Structure 1
Amino acid sequence: MRTFAIGDIHGGLKALIQLLNKMEIKDDDTLIFVGDYVDGWSESAQVIQFLIELSQKINCIFIKGNHDVWCEEWLRNDDVNPIWYMHGGKETMDSYVGFSEDKKKEHLKFFESMPLFYIDDKKRLFVHAGFTSMHGVEKEVFKASLYFDRTLWEMALIMDESIEKDSTIYPNRLKHYSEIYIGHTPTINFKVDEPMHAANVWNIDTGAAFTGKLSGININTKAIFQSDNLPALYPNEKGRNKV
């Protein structure tokens, strides 16, 4: 059986379908999504509907991202976070035109059911952004760190690769897990259009919200799969504004 981790989709249904086709997904595969399914391109509601239906066919794990938190709040009580509205929320709200109230309630339940992290039987952690507790995600006091923190990735980037994991100076945050898979911080910020690896952290957000691609990685073989650049798939749209 194969397990894939998939980066931030941000309303790019065309990219998601293209990526799954390139992966040649089978019924016994597992897909672990690291969050941010909405906000960006014009098909956020359609992405959620597609994922709900996909999860009825194969094993899927959906981690919650910060954009998903905002969308969930809007679906629950029409709360329009102004930061969300400016950074993809408007496009997501537009994508729900034509969706019935019952369908919106179904999507709300989908968001509400998402965990903030997942740890598999090989101590591989999947989380949207990162965490700050030296004791690991389960001891994280500030839950919003799980979908907003960037310091974990920043720390991994500046680490000396020669430091062994059993060393006393190896960061305690990283010692808890064999590997950590994150999204949230686009690799195109570092002029890289593929998933990046630093220490034991894999960043698989390759900027699908902006000018980049949607990426997936086989977590056992480390084979990488990617869609086309999102602007090529949505030539008449601009994508999300950068924060």
Structure 2
Amino acid sequence: MRTLVVGDIHGGLKALKQVLFKIESKYTDRYIFLGDYVDGWSESAETIAFLIDFSKKFDCIFLRGNHDELTYKYLKHGDDNPLWLNHGGRETRKSYEAFSSSAIEEHLQFFHNLVNYHMDSKNRLFVHAGFTNLHGPQNEYYPNLVYWDRTLWEVACSLDQSLSIDNSLYPARLKLFSEIYIGHTPVTRLGETVPLQCANVWNIDTGAAFKGPLSVIDVDTKEVWQSDPVYKLYPSEKGRN
């Protein structure tokens, strides 16, 4: 069984379909989606509809991203704060205009059922953003930190990569898991467009919301599949650029 981790999609359904076609999915595969399915390109609602259908055919774990939480609050409570609207929310709001109330209810259930993190039998952690508690994400005082935090990735990137895990200076958070898979902070900020490893943290957000592709990685073999740069699939749109 392959365990395939999917980076941040941000409404780029065309990119998701393209990369899944390249993978040649098998029914024994497990997919772990790192969150941020919405907010960016024009097909956020359509992306959620696709994922709901996809999960009926394949073993899927859907993590909660910060944009997913913001969209849920809009659909559930009408919370359309300007910060959300200016960071992809406007496109998401528009994508839901053609959806029926029953379809939206189904999507609300999808958002409600998202999980904040997943730990597998090989002591690998999958989380949208990170965590701050030295005893792991399950001990966070503020649970929403796991889909907003950027300090875990900053710590991993700033670490001397030659430092031994036995060294007293090695960050305690990183010692908790054999590997940590995250999204949230695009690696394009570091000039990369492929999944990036720092220490034992793998960042799979390759900037699909901006100028990068959507990426999927096999966590055992580290094989990577990518879509075209997503903006090329939506040439008349600006995305979050």
| TM-score, normalised with respect to structure 1 | 0.97
Q: Which letter maps to 1:48?
A: I
**1:120 and 2:94 equivalent?**
no
Displaced runs of 4+ in structure 1, greater than 2 A? 166-169
Using the TM superposition, name which of 103-112 and 167-176 deviates more: 167-176
Structure 2 distance, partners of 1:25, 1:192, is: 26
**1:142 and 2:127 equivalent?**
no
Aligned twin of 1:238: 238
Q: Which letter maps to 1:10?
A: H
Deviation (angstroms), 1:189 = 0.7
Structure 2 distance, partners of 1:222, 1:169, is: 28
Structure 2 distance, partners of 1:16, 1:181, is: 19
Equivalent position SS for 2:126:
strand
Q: Aligned pair count?
A: 241
Structure 1 distance, partners of 2:134, 2:74, is: 33
Equivalent position SS for 2:143:
coil
Aligned pairs for 1:96-107 within 5 A:
96-107=96-107
Equivalent position SS for 1:144:
helix
Deviation (angstroms), 1:168 = 2.5
Report Cα offsets for 1:16-55 as digits up to 9, x if no partner: 0001011111111000010000000000000000000000
Deviation (angstroms), 1:169 = 2.2
**Does the Cα contact within 8 Å between 1:70 and 1:81 map onto a contact in 2?**
no
Aligned twin of 1:3: 3
Deviation (angstroms), 1:81 = 2.2
Aligned pairs for 1:79-228 within 5 A:
79-228=79-228
Aligned twin of 2:16: 16
Deviation (angstroms), 1:97 = 1.5
Aligned twin of 2:62: 62
Q: Which runs of 5+ in 2 are unaligned?
A: none
Question: Identity of counterpart residues, as a percentage?
Answer: 55
Q: Which runs of 5+ in 1 are unaligned?
A: none
Report Cα offsets for 1:62-93 as digits up to 9, x if no partner: 00000000000011111112211111111001
Deviation (angstroms), 1:163 = 1.6
